[in-house]
Structure 1
Amino acid sequence: MAASPLLSLVRKDLVMEWRQKHTLFGVLLYVGSTVFVIYMMNGQPVDKVWNALFWLTQLFVAVNAVAKSFLQESVSRFRYYYSIVKPQTFMLAKMIYSLVLQTFMTLVSLILFWIMLGDPITQNGLFACVALLGGVSLALVFTFISAIAARANQNTGMMAIIGFPLVTPVLMILGNLALKAIAPVYQPGWWTLAGVLALFDGLVVVLSVILFPFLWKE
C-alpha cells in the first residue's frame, strides 16, 4: 500500500508528459537538431571531442527535459498534493519520473550520435552503461535543484546559481569514466570515480528526502 501513492504520482507525471507532446517532441527536436548541426559544422569528430560533445548535449537535455519537473506545478496544485501525500513520497515520485524521462532522452541521444557522428568507442556496452549512469546522475541533480527553485517563488535563476557547482563535477567525472570506453589503453582509477559518482547520487537522494519536507511546508 505504501508504494501505491508513489506509483500513482509517477504515472500521473508520465501521462501529463505524453499529453503535452509538444514539450517532449520539442526536446527530441532539440537533440536531433543539435547532433545534425554538429555533423554539418564538424563532420565526425575525434573520440575525445565526441565524448565532450555528448556530455554537453546531455547537460542541455537535462535542463530542458528534467529541470521543469517541479517548475510546471502550480501553487494550488502543491497545496492539493500536500493534503494527500507525504513530502518524501512526492519527491521520490518526481525523481523516478525524471529518471525515466532522462534515460529515454539519453538513449535517443546516444543512438543519434552513433548514427550521425560516427562510433569512435572501443567498448560500446561500457559507454552505454556510463551514459545511463550519467542520465541518472543528471536527473537526480536537476530534480533536486528544480524542487528548490520551485519553492523559491519559481525562481529559475536559482537553478543556475545552485546547479553550476553541482553539475560541473558530475560532468567531469562522467567524462573521465567514458574515456575507458573510448581510449584503447587502461584508464586507472575508474572504479574510484564510479564509486564517487554513486556516493554523490546517494547523497543527493538522501538530502532531497531530508530537506524537501521543510521546503514543502513553506
Structure 2
Amino acid sequence: MLLSLIKKEFVLEFRQKSTLGGVLVYLAGTIFVSALCFKGHLDKPTWNALFWVITLFTSVTISGKSFLKETGGQGLFNYLHYPARQFIVAKILYNMVFMLILSFLTFFFYALFIKNEVENISLFLLVLLLASTGLAGVLSLMSAIAAKANGNFAMMSILSFPVVMPLILVVIRLSKQAVDGLEWAGVGFDFISILVALNVLTLALSFLLFPYLWRD
C-alpha cells in the first residue's frame, strides 16, 4: 500500500510536468543569475547562505502543492481508500526524495556556474539528507493544514515559516562546518543530534496529528 502511494505521487508529478519544469527553471535561473552578479567571487558564508535560501524556496514550492490538489472528490476518494498514517508517510517520503534530488541538482549547478566551496563533502551530503527529511515532514503537514482550511500556497508558506526556522538555523550551522572543511573529529555532533531530534519530532507530530486532520 505504501509503495503504491509513493508510486502514485511520482506518476502524477511526471504526468503534470509544469511544476517540475518550473522548479528546474527557477533553480538553474537563480543560480545562473547569482553567478553573473557575483562573478564567482562568493565568500564561504555567502555561498552557504545563498545555497540554503534557494533550497528552502524550492522545497516550499514542491511541498506547497502536496495537499492543495487533494480536495473535493479526490480528497474523498483518498479518505475512503487509504489509511491516514500511510498517506502522510507516503507524502513525506515522496517530498523527501524529491527535495533530496533537487538539493543535489542545486549543488551541481553551484559547482558548474559558481564554484564548489564544500571541503567536507560527506558531512555536507549528510546535512542535505537530514535537511530534506526535516523539511519534508514540516512542509507536508503545513500543506495539509492549509488545504483543510481552504487556504492557498501563501497560507502554507506563512504557517511553515516559524516552524522551519529552527531547522534551517541548525542546518546552516552544520553546513558551514562542511564548507569550512572541518574533519569529522571537529564536527559539532551536538548540532547533528539537535537536527536528528528535530526531524524525529516533526515526523512524529505529522504521524500523530494527521489522522485527526484527515477526518475533518
* TM-score computed with the length of structure 2 as normaliser: 0.93
Among residues 164, 169, 193, which one is paired with 1:172 in the alignment? Answer: 169
User: Does structure 1 residue 107 correspond to structure 2 residue 107?
Assistant: no
Find the partner of 1:209 among 202, 207, 210. Answer: 207
Q: Deviation digits for residues 25-82 of structure 1, max 9, x if unmatched?
A: 1100100000001001112211110000000000010011122111122221111111
The 8 Å contact of residues 71 and 147 in structure 2, kept in 1 or not, is answered as no
Counterpart residue number, 2:23: 27
Q: Equivalents in 1 of 2:86, 2:117: separation in Å?
A: 42
- RMSD after superposition: 1.7
Q: Deviations over 1:146-185 (max 9, x none)?
A: 1111111134443233211111111111110011111245
Per the alignment, residue 88 of structure 1 pairs with: 85
Amino acid at match of 1:129: L
Query: Which is further off, 117-126 or 149-158?
Result: 149-158
Counterparts of 1:1-218 in structure 2, within 5 Å, are: 5-44=1-40, 45-184=42-181, 190-218=188-216
- Distance in 2 between residues matched to 1:84 and 1:12, nearest whole Å: 13
Distance 1:83 1:74 in 2: 13
User: Please, which runs of 5 or more residues in structure 1 have no aligned partner?
Assistant: none
- Matched letter for residue 59 of structure 1: L
Per mean C-alpha deviation after superposition, the further-off stretch among 38-47 and 153-162 is 153-162
Aligned length: 214
Q: Check conservation: 2:117, 2:179, Cα contact below 8 A.
A: yes
TM-score when scaled to structure 1?
0.92
Q: Which AA in structure 1 matches 2:205?
A: L
> What code does the residue aligned with 1:25 have?
G
Where do 5+ consecutive residues of structure 2 fail to align? none
Identity of aligned residues (%): 34
- Name the SS for the 2:66 alignment partner: helix
Q: After TM superposition, what 4+ stretches of structure 1 lie above 4 angstroms from structure 2? A: 184-189
What does the per-residue CA deviation read over 1:120-145, in whole Å, with 9 as the maximum and x for residues that have no partner? Answer: 22212221221222122212211111
